[in-house]
Structure 1
Amino acid sequence: MRYGVWLLGLAFLSCARLDFRDSSLPSDQRADLLLQELTLEEKVSLMMDVSKPVERLGIKPYNWWNEALHGVARAGLATVFPQPIGMAASFDDSLVYKVFTAVSDEARAKNTYYVQHDSYKRYQGLTMWTPTVNIYRDPRWGRGIETYGEDPYLTSKMGVMVVKGLQGESDGKYDKLYACAKHFAVHSGPEWNRHSFDVENLPLRDLYETYLPAFKALVQDAGVKEVMCAYNRFEGEPCCGSNRLLTQILRKEWGFDGIILSDCWAINDFFDEKGHRTHKDAPSAASAAVLSGTDLECGSTYETLVEAARKKQIDEKVIDKSVKRLLKARFDLGEMDNPDKVSWTKIPFSVVASAAHDSLALRMARESMTLLMNKNQALPLKRGGLTVAVMGPNAKDSVMMWGNYNGVPSHTVTILEGIRSALGKDDKLIYEQGCPWVGDEVLESVFSECKSEGRPGFTARYWNNVNHEGKVDVETRVMTPFNFCTSGATVFAPGVNLTDFSATYNATYVPKASGEIVLDVYSYGKGRLLINQKEVMKFHNVHGGNKKSCALPVEAGKKYDIELQFEYLQSDAQLNFDLGFKQKVNVARSVQAVRNADVVVFVGGISPSLEGEEMGVDLPGFKRGDRTSIELPEVQRELLAALHRAGKKVILVNCSGSPIGLVPETETCEAILQAWYPGQQGGKAVAEVLFGDYNPAGRLPVTFYRNTDQLPDFEDYNMKGRTYRFMTEKPLFPFGYGLSYTTFKYGTATFNAQTIGSDDNLTVTVPVSNVGSRDGEEVVQVYLNKVGDEEGPVKTLKAFKRVLVPAGKTANVRITLSKKDLEWWNETTHSIQFCPGKYQVWIGGSSDEKDLSKYAITLK
């Protein structure tokens, strides 16, 4: 029976007493009424991300786990916006709000569709586990790509708008969605030891001044409904069992009464021999987590709460507090009620991947483009008889552009495609990949030539068992080289189990030319590869991922049926697959191939397949998703140097979610454009900047260091020497930096007062003149530091505004800093508050002092 019909039927039952099914009652009261009817076992079953149905009461199943990092993720079709680190580069929080309003529309529409089909699986619910507002303290951290940068103020402003866009306004009865602030709170790598690492001896000032502000802003300014605790320990306690973080700070100091949930399987780390080992077993770990405030577990350790309660390790009344929060949330979202009564279910499915959202993705991609270098006005390129060579590993890689925690767009404009479309009728294009991201071999993939059932791509069939048994549970298509990995709990396809699954992939390849192709399989699991029903490769990897390759002689025009079988074994499953003609990187040959080009656009950098969450990648410069070196990989540096020696004008388009040490490239290249992972319209945005159809105004949300010698130890969370706020050395490119195709000149700023009282705001007005020949946007930045505070930040961002200034015009930019913006660390009270004293206000176009004007004010 459909759960919705069941629930409606029960609602018609006549009953003299109040009933939780009565939607006219307040959600808080309904939660109390339902709680009274649940058994201990039923309560506990509702405290895990896969919440089971309570059929006797008509409560349908609910899966709390959904993702929307930069678009609805991991549930098929969705608009894919730029990665958050790229959105942060826009310095446009109002646009971030519009983006996540669009994301929440798509999420609601997709949920309505799933409910109509009685589907309640992971990535189909209304609770979105985003944004990530951890401070990007070290550029080696792989998950920094999910954040909004290294600055607490910028992260706070962006994060607040993400939450407001996702959660929307209440319709008067029901909430639109729930957002989740993660990962609370002192958490930013390394990835390889996150399940056992302890952040110890952190100065109290760093905690409150750097690591907590964004979370506090999301709780108190945005009303975020959920907070996710982190994997690591803080001061000896696992974060998901930390009385300091969860009970004292989050619940008591900040007054948060929403849902606290664990990162996935973080509770297991309490007692796992490879984890923290702070608790002896599962019941004690589960009890400790709930007692400290963690209401919902992503995982299954909470199943042992029944045993713990019966052994008096935890009082059932404590469990009731958590369950009530969860029930109230489900009532507030309308998830327990007839969908027809919930206004949000009226959002049509047509908003998903709509043309309007595609345009919004393009606008955000444009605003994220950050021009770092432009020697002798090498950019913009001039059309008309121009021969452009496009090179590099990221030139035609659509998957790279999606970032991580992503959906799948209806179409992706690659950078190669964007440049090709931007050329004039008299211009020419040469494409030569030249090199991979890392290593000395390049695969000229023929994946796009594979077809199944007359259509491009592979047919993928999945069974939610490991033996390919019974009816196929999910059938879909794979249009790009396989890059599947369940690290970070990413399923191979929507509806497929995270564990205990099997798959078969089929396609036919008809070579256009004879030769020898290479079939590459990188896997963590078991399987085999068949060509024309004959096994050519077998793999069985139980100790992490391993790569296997086999060569296959092929004849032009002959048909080759390919079947790849895969079975889950344990831990994180992984399957990468591609095929093509492989050859060694030949720098001289690649340079010769572009000899007739007037300009070379080298689209390099790295990829989300190299940097990200706890990945199975160990290559030169990379370890488990983190980086051990921040320079551009050696093979790319060599090719760029060779192009420079050959006299080529080289434009580097760098795609990455992290700062790259581009010191040699400042010599070998004429211009550098930081494109991040720019989403589905990124190729068009890049091309518009290259050809001057769009004037870039992105600014760096992270410091670009020269090399790792400028970095403290990765595992040291002390902020001394880190980020622009505490760094004393000169970086390659500073926080807040970015170039334009026009020139801005700042006049003398005026203030509403030079002495500011504790109840006053500070209003700054600064004239910004565009003295160039074209319209452009400038990001006006306001920094503050306290005179005489030797332990504090050199300067710290307190306000910003992105403004359009027409050519030849002056804009009087008015920015107000509230009392809260003026607060500073008080060493006596060990708190952030309004602190009288002398301060310096810095105003300009980046954090570099040469780009700033300094003014004195007094707080009293």
Structure 2
Amino acid sequence: MNQSKLHELINEMTIEEKAAQMSQVVSSLINENSGKGKITGPFAGMEVAKEDMSGSGSILGAAGADDLRALQKEYMERSRFSIPLLFMADVIHGYKTVFPVPLALGCTWDPEAVEESAAIAAEEAAAAGLHVTFSPMVDLVRDPRWGRVMESTGEDPYLNGVFARAFVRGYQGDDLEGDSTKLAACVKHFAAYGAPEGGRDYNTVDMSERQLREYYLPAYEAALDEGAELVMTAFNTVAGIPATSNKWLMRDVLRKEMGFDGILISDWGAVQEAIPHGVAADNKEAARKTVEAGVDIEMMTPCYVQHLKTLVQENVVSEALLDEAVLRILKLKQKLGLFDNPYRGADRELQEAVTLSEANRKAARETAAKSCVLLKNNGALPLQKDQRVALIGPFAESRDLMGPWSIFGSEDDVVTVRTGVSEKLSSAPNVAQGCDIEAVTYDQVQEAVEMASDADVIVLALGEHSEMSGEAGSRTDIRLPEAQLQLVAELKKLGKPIVTVLFNGRPLDLHGVIEESDSVLEAWYPGTEGGRAVADLLFGDTNPSGKLTMSFPYNVGQVPVYYNSFNTGRPKDQIAPEDRFASKYLDAPNEPLFPFGYGLSYTSFDYSNLQLSSGVIKENGKIQVSVDVTNTGTAAGEETVQLYVRDLVGEVVRPVKELKGFRKVQLKPGETGQVVFEVDEQVLKYHHSDLTFACDPGEFIVSVGPDSRNTEERRFSYQPAGQRG
């Protein structure tokens, strides 16, 4: 069906039919026998359940080839124009083969691995009948109290943009129209959802427009540049107006400036939330403001269905706004080939063949190992396969390794740490739970002590239950629960080496763990193959290579703490230590416990011979930055070499460091590799006070190293045309 046919179809549709296309609900509201599907937001008491939503043009949360084929068939048989349904769902980091959570995927610093994970997720989900995934989430995050940091790739705008592109490429491929193994990607949450006050989900976001453009918008733009077909609105306010009804944000910034002409969909219930936000008196006003802002699909509230017809009839809303929204919806259905084949991709035999295949599990295992970050190692790792190992903790045998957003994954398919470790050892480990996630008994501790007493080394598997992070998983205390800290303290008394493996969805305050442990491995929620990936690392079959993409605070009182901060007018390192009047805490360091980019290996790397090809970048010119990296240890390893730039004197204050590039290098023991970066004036640009995007003449620092804290630096200058050095 060509575009002129789509226009003809829209002209024949009633306002009610258009409003229905612009509404999205769970499957039970279209077919009561289908079940609700996966519920990912509030449902009980929602007004949508009272409305006739059977004509809604899309469904969320349902999956399964046979079920979705049946839903599609029934819907089209009663549809006046046989317009097919769109099936959408949260396939965030895997469908049935669950990969590590996105924050962990970010710690791979490996866009190719992330792209592969998205392609595998798309293949499995498409065979189950899905058309759209609500991913990637590219919100920049700086506050680990916010539970949804696990769904972001971290605190850096450049790196988030790199991963945004990788996710979109993996989901959509090169030929979304012709390849039924692909999904349309929906980038979220537009905009600045990752900056809620106090780290409390759904809370107010308030920042300058310059900060919004400098740090928060770039990753969305990267996803759109890569061709993402949909954008989801955010729950939060932007400049005092809820994002979902923010006409400036959606019409001016997203549509006009960024050139996005795909589908804009609200998040769950966000249209109706204009009422408690206090910018709409009722559903009718919420519908008006949202459609005027350019939102094409309302998710899980009935404002459009209830009121768009009346608003058009009263000449309050132009029917042309409905037509442009419906056209975008139909164009995506056309692009996916649904008018020709409404059952696109849904194939039970294919679903059974590709889901949790051996190849997919292998990829998940390898990626999980890349995502783990070795935070500390005083020689306890790697373990030896003939050691007597005591495996203790609430995650020793837990299958809760997928995280809170793996809605289609099954714990029955998860490989536990016990299984992974047992497969490596010559004799079975001594295993004890030691405590529950948040409670402990005397008997549990005594059993753990008994098991540990008869071992050479203690492996502690600790962390957060998955419901302690994710959406609505905000916490003010980001330490491990006291029960687990008590267990650590008791086992420390035995004087045996302690290796702690952490399973969690956010950076933690690690006091009570980091001092007591000889080695600490941050495993996040590693997914379906998590137990084997962790074991591969513990026993040295894989060398840790993960690097943090979100800083670990010294304690929660520092939050937000991030690497690309401003220097302030009274920087601590430029004021005498005895002088009180510096920007510092009296009871804690300014710096995080572990900085952005940090991660250890079982080998060591030495950086030397940092050189610039020139000390000056001319207008439209560039320089090369080279550094030699040598593997000075005894094991082969992979290092992520990071490039940072600082503008020493800007028109507005600039960060002390900004990531502008990275390279991964594999080196054998004793081997040296040269890593080369290019720096041009595009790298030096930023948003000035008038929001123009340009670079300043003057002096800059370029620094290179293994993380944002430990770098070598050189200086260069930028000279635009007409300026002499």
TM-score (structure 2 length as normaliser): 0.84
DSSP 3-state at the match of 2:628 = strand
Cα deviations across residues 302-325 of structure 1 (Å, max 9, x unaligned)? 112112212222111111111111
Q: Match for 1:254 among 254, 258, 267?
A: 258
Counterpart contact for 1:184–1:227, Cα < 8 Å: yes
Give the deviation of 1:765 after TM superposition.
Answer: 2.5
Cα deviations across residues 130-151 of structure 1 (Å, max 9, x unaligned)? 1111111101001111110111
Give the deviation of 1:855 after TM superposition.
Answer: 1.3
Q: Match for 1:802 among 664, 675, 695?
A: 664
Structure 1 pair 172–62 and aligned structure 2 pair: CA distance change class (3 A): closer
Matching of residue 310 in structure 1 with residue 313 in structure 2: yes
Counterpart contact for 2:470–2:505, Cα < 8 Å: no
Report the counterpart of residue 604 of structure 1 in structure 2: 462
CA distance in 2, matches of 1:64, 1:314: 28
Q: Match for 1:94 among 102, 112, 116?
A: 112
CA distance in 1, matches of 2:112, 2:331: 30
CA distance in 2, matches of 1:710, 1:650: 28
Cα deviations across residues 224-256 of structure 1 (Å, max 9, x unaligned)? 111111112112211001122111211111111
Counterpart contact for 1:725–1:796, Cα < 8 Å: no
Counterpart contact for 2:205–2:237, Cα < 8 Å: yes
Q: Match for 2:647 among 763, 768, 786?
A: 786
Unaligned runs of 5+ in 1: 1-22, 73-77, 112-124, 442-583, 615-624, 713-720
Report the counterpart of residue 736 of structure 1 in structure 2: 597
Give the deviation of 1:101 after TM superposition.
Answer: 1.5
Task: Give the share of equivalent positions with the same residue, in percent.
Answer: 34
Counterpart contact for 1:663–1:732, Cα < 8 Å: no
DSSP 3-state at the match of 1:131 = coil
CA distance in 1, matches of 2:365, 2:492: 32
Give the deviation of 1:261 after TM superposition.
Answer: 0.8
Equivalences for residues 104-183 of structure 1 within 5 A: 104-111=122-129, 125-170=130-175, 176-183=182-189
Q: Match for 1:629 among 477, 481, 486?
A: 477
Report the counterpart of residue 278 of structure 1 in structure 2: 279
Matching of residue 68 in structure 1 with residue 91 in structure 2: yes
Structure 1 pair 702–589 and aligned structure 2 pair: CA distance change class (3 A): same
DSSP 3-state at the match of 1:830 = coil
CA distance in 2, matches of 1:193, 1:708: 14
Give the deviation of 1:705 after TM superposition.
Answer: 0.5
Structure 1 pair 218–819 and aligned structure 2 pair: CA distance change class (3 A): farther
DSSP 3-state at the match of 1:31 = helix
Matching of residue 185 in structure 1 with residue 47 in structure 2: no
Cα-Cα RMSD: 2.3
DSSP 3-state at the match of 1:609 = helix
Matching of residue 680 in structure 1 with residue 533 in structure 2: no
Cα deviations across residues 418-439 of structure 1 (Å, max 9, x unaligned)? 1111102xx3411111111213
CA distance in 1, matches of 2:671, 2:475: 45
Report the counterpart of residue 232 of structure 2 in structure 1: 228
Q: For residue 45 of structure 1, what is the amino acid of its counterpart?
A: A
Counterpart contact for 1:393–1:603, Cα < 8 Å: yes
Q: Match for 1:855 among 714, 718, 725?
A: 714
Give the deviation of 1:814 after TM superposition.
Answer: 2.5
Structure 1 pair 193–592 and aligned structure 2 pair: CA distance change class (3 A): closer
Structure 1 pair 38–269 and aligned structure 2 pair: CA distance change class (3 A): same
Q: Which runs of 4+ in 1 moved over 6 A?
A: 190-193, 342-347
Report the counterpart of residue 424 of structure 2 in structure 1: 422
Q: Match for 2:685 among 809, 818, 823?
A: 823
Structure 1 pair 362–586 and aligned structure 2 pair: CA distance change class (3 A): closer
Counterpart contact for 1:603–1:655, Cα < 8 Å: yes
CA distance in 1, matches of 2:476, 2:715: 42
Q: For residue 770 of structure 1, what is the amino acid of its counterpart?
A: N
DSSP 3-state at the match of 2:189 = strand
CA distance in 2, matches of 1:334, 1:666: 54
Equivalences for residues 20-419 of structure 1 within 5 A: 23=1, 25=2, 28-50=3-25, 51-52=56-57, 53=75, 55=78, 57-72=80-95, 78-111=96-129, 125-170=130-175, 176-188=182-194, 189=196, 194=201, 197-200=203-206, 202-220=207-225, 222-271=226-275, 275-299=276-300, 300-303=302-305, 304-338=307-341, 348-349=350-351, 350-375=353-378, 377-384=379-386, 386-409=387-410, 411-419=413-421
DSSP 3-state at the match of 2:468 = coil
Structure 1 pair 145–663 and aligned structure 2 pair: CA distance change class (3 A): same
DSSP 3-state at the match of 1:360 = helix
Report the counterpart of residue 474 of structure 1 in structure 2: none
Give the deviation of 1:817 after TM superposition.
Answer: 4.4
DSSP 3-state at the match of 1:747 = strand
CA distance in 2, matches of 1:732, 1:193: 23
Q: Match for 1:748 among 589, 592, 609?
A: 609
Q: Match for 1:640 among 488, 492, 501?
A: 488
CA distance in 2, matches of 1:747, 1:319: 61
Structure 1 pair 346–855 and aligned structure 2 pair: CA distance change class (3 A): farther
Report the counterpart of residue 694 of structure 2 in structure 1: 833
Q: For residue 418 of structure 1, what is the amino acid of its counterpart?
A: G
Question: How many pairs are equivalent?
Answer: 643
CA distance in 2, matches of 1:607, 1:172: 40
Counterpart contact for 2:549–2:597, Cα < 8 Å: yes
CA distance in 1, matches of 2:201, 2:481: 26
Counterpart contact for 2:201–2:474, Cα < 8 Å: no
CA distance in 2, matches of 1:161, 1:765: 26
Counterpart contact for 1:644–1:650, Cα < 8 Å: yes
Give the deviation of 1:172 after TM superposition.
Answer: 6.6
Counterpart contact for 1:600–1:648, Cα < 8 Å: yes
DSSP 3-state at the match of 2:401 = helix
Counterpart contact for 1:601–1:652, Cα < 8 Å: yes
Give the deviation of 1:598 after TM superposition.
Answer: 0.9
Report the counterpart of residue 574 of structure 1 in structure 2: none
Give the deviation of 1:198 after TM superposition.
Answer: 3.2
Q: Match for 2:452 among 586, 594, 597?
A: 594
CA distance in 1, matches of 2:686, 2:192: 20
Give the deviation of 1:801 after TM superposition.
Answer: 1.7
DSSP 3-state at the match of 2:184 = coil
DSSP 3-state at the match of 2:339 = coil
Report the counterpart of residue 431 of structure 2 in structure 1: 431
Q: For residue 137 of structure 1, what is the amino acid of its counterpart?
A: R
CA distance in 2, matches of 1:703, 1:194: 20
Which 10-residue stretch deviates more, 694-703 or 764-773? Answer: 764-773
Q: For residue 747 of structure 1, what is the amino acid of its counterpart?
A: S
Structure 1 pair 343–689 and aligned structure 2 pair: CA distance change class (3 A): closer
Give the deviation of 1:758 after TM superposition.
Answer: 3.9
Q: For residue 244 of structure 1, what is the amino acid of its counterpart?
A: W
Counterpart contact for 2:126–2:345, Cα < 8 Å: no
Which 10-residue stretch deviates more, 182-191 or 320-329? Answer: 182-191
Structure 1 pair 256–104 and aligned structure 2 pair: CA distance change class (3 A): same
Q: For residue 390 of structure 1, what is the amino acid of its counterpart?
A: L
Cα deviations across residues 60-93 of structure 1 (Å, max 9, x unaligned)? 4524431211012xxxxx2111111111110001
Cα deviations across residues 580-619 of structure 1 (Å, max 9, x unaligned)? xxxx5653453234211111100001121211212xxxxx
Q: For residue 630 of structure 2, what is the amino acid of its counterpart?
A: S
Structure 1 pair 702–414 and aligned structure 2 pair: CA distance change class (3 A): same
DSSP 3-state at the match of 2:429 = strand
More helix by share: 2
Counterpart contact for 1:653–1:675, Cα < 8 Å: yes
CA distance in 2, matches of 1:56, 1:214: 39
Counterpart contact for 2:176–2:335, Cα < 8 Å: no
